[in-house]
Amino acid sequence: MPKAVASKTKAVQSSKKHDGDVDKSGSWIVTVPAMTTDPAVDLLSEKGDCIHQAMATFMYVGAGAQGVPVPIPAPAIVTLEAGTDQCKPTLLKHSSKDVLVEGDKKEDNFGNVVEVDAVSAKLFTDPE
């Protein structure tokens, strides 16, 4: 069944607490820039460039243990790449790369998500 080709992605931070946050006082944030994408520059829909890949970096801030701030040093990087993980390969390709389509989504172990947010109303592709 054909799926609409993605034109925009978004990052959604998790509401789960990090294991290192004993006081459960911290929260996840999306770092700036919120999202980086690998667009299919020559492959356009009516909404703009189609997308091969989208990536967001999430940081956990405000963690504590008995009122003392605790740094959570490692950021969580979530990469949504067409044709890998939960994203099936597509018949429509650009420079031998698959494109993201409606419903493509990747979630890390902490619950942070990068997902397709908007799709073309005119450009569709079938899974490979």
The residues spanned by each domain of the chain are 3-120
Q: How far apart are CA 126 and CA 101, in angstroms?
A: 9
Query: pLDDT tens digits for 65-79?
Result: 888 888 887 899 999
Query: pLDDT tens digits for 68-115?
Result: 888 887 899 999 999 987 788 999 998 889 999 999 999 999 999 999
Residue type (1 letter), 109: N
Query: Residue by residue, what is the 3-state secondary structure of 22-70?
Result: CCCCCEEEECCCCCEEEEEEEEEECCEEEEEEEEEEEEEECCEECCEEC
Q: What is the mean pLDDT of the chain?
A: 90
